[in-house]
Every structure is written in structure tokens, then in C-alpha cells.
Amino acid sequence: MITRNLRISLVLAFAAAVPLGASAQGIQVVDAWSRPTPPGIDVGVAYFTIRNGGKNDRLLRVSSPVAKRAELHVSAMKNDVMRMEGLDSVDVASGAPTLFEPSGRHVMLTGLKRPLKEGEVFPLTLTFANAGQIQTSVRVRGADGMDKSRTMSPSQMKH
């Protein structure tokens, strides 16, 4: 009985310690992820979703200690060519998710201080005009964007 209660307590403590996202003033940053980078490559990317249950806001800038610079970018088709452009800011409307995803808005991490490795987590700080700074954790998924740590079947897990 004590072992079962201890196990339940540990699971609850672990769940509370691992944030699913970060929030302030009605804004939530959820599902932040990145891809691993090969050795010698000093450019990475971060994706996430912003949910705004408060007033309209604007994302002004981003930063992370894993890179010298973090910039807001968007990829879009122009004249049948995919192009990437820097963004000064991103409007975050109330009641609608703002997506940062492959082939769309994203954070470019330039001057990476070390390669990003699958399974690791790094901090990302988003600064909003009204909500201020929100820090979230970015999980480095596989190169295909899948989080293998969360999609393994029981038969794939090592015991």
C-alpha cells in the first residue's frame, strides 16, 4: 500500500514539475518544439502555438540562451518560390491560436552555441507588448518533427 501511494505521489510530482506550456495575462505558449541540428551547423528553429484568452497582444521579440540571436521569421510562397522573411512583430489576436510551424511562422536561432540534440529541452523567452515576458521550454524532437519519447508503443520501450 505504501509503495502504491509513493508511486502515485511521484507521478503527480513529476507531472507538476514538467510544464506543458507557459502563460501570462491570458496568453499561453504551448507545444514548443525544435529539430536536432547536425554538428557544425549553427542555425536552428523553434515552433510553438500561442493561445490568447485575454486581450489582443503583439509578440515583439524572442530570445534563448542556446543561440546568439533569435528572430521572428515567416516562410511563404512568392512567385512559385519558397522565401523566408524576417518579421518585426506578430499580432496575437484574442480567441484565435497563433501558429509557429514548418513552412510558416517560426523562430530562427542563429549562432547556436552547440548542436541541438534530440530529447533535450532548452528555454525560449517570448516578449509581448502587453503580457510581457513568457518563458517556455522547447523540446528537441526527431528530425521528422515527431516526439519519439511520447509516441513509443510499450513493446518499443526498453525495460
Which CATH number covers residue 40? Answer: 2.60.40.1890
**Per-residue pLDDT tens digits for 59-73:** 999 999 999 999 999
Residue 38 counted as domain residue: yes
Q: What is the pLDDT of residues 139-158, one digit of tens each?
A: 999 876 665 554 444 444 44
DSSP 96: S
pLDDT of 155 reads: 45
Q: Decide if 147 is inside a domain.
A: no
Asked if residue 20 is part of any domain, the answer here is no
Residues 6+ apart with CB under 8 A from 28: 21, 22, 50, 51, 52, 53
Asked whether residue 5 carries a pLDDT value surpassing 70, the answer given is: no
Give CA–CA dist 158/76, Å, rounded: 42
What the block records as the C-alpha cell of 15 is 507531472
Region 30-39: what's the mean pLDDT?
A: 96
Q: Read off the pLDDT of each residue in 38-56 and give the average, rounded to a whole number.
A: 95
Domain contains 105: yes
Residue 22 lies in a domain: no
User: Structurally, how many domains does the chain consist of?
Assistant: 1
Range of the structural domain that residue 85 is part of: 27-139
Q: How confident is the model at residue 76 (pLDDT cuts 50, 70, 90)?
A: confident
Burial state string for 19-53 with b = 16 or more CB within 10 A and e = fewer than 16: eebbbbeebbbebbbbbbbeeeeeebbbbbebbbe
In a domain, 115, yes or no: yes
Distance (Å, rounded) from C-alpha 28 to C-alpha 42? Answer: 29
Is residue 15, in this structure, part of any structural domain at all? no
pTM, rounded to two decimals:
0.76
Residue of 61 and 1 predicted with greater confidence: 61
Q: Are 60 and 72 contacting, i.e. CB atoms less than 8 angstroms apart?
A: no
Residue 93 placed within a domain: yes
Tell me the three cell numbers of residue 139. Answer: 523540446
Which residue did the predictor score with more confidence, 5 or 133?
Answer: 133
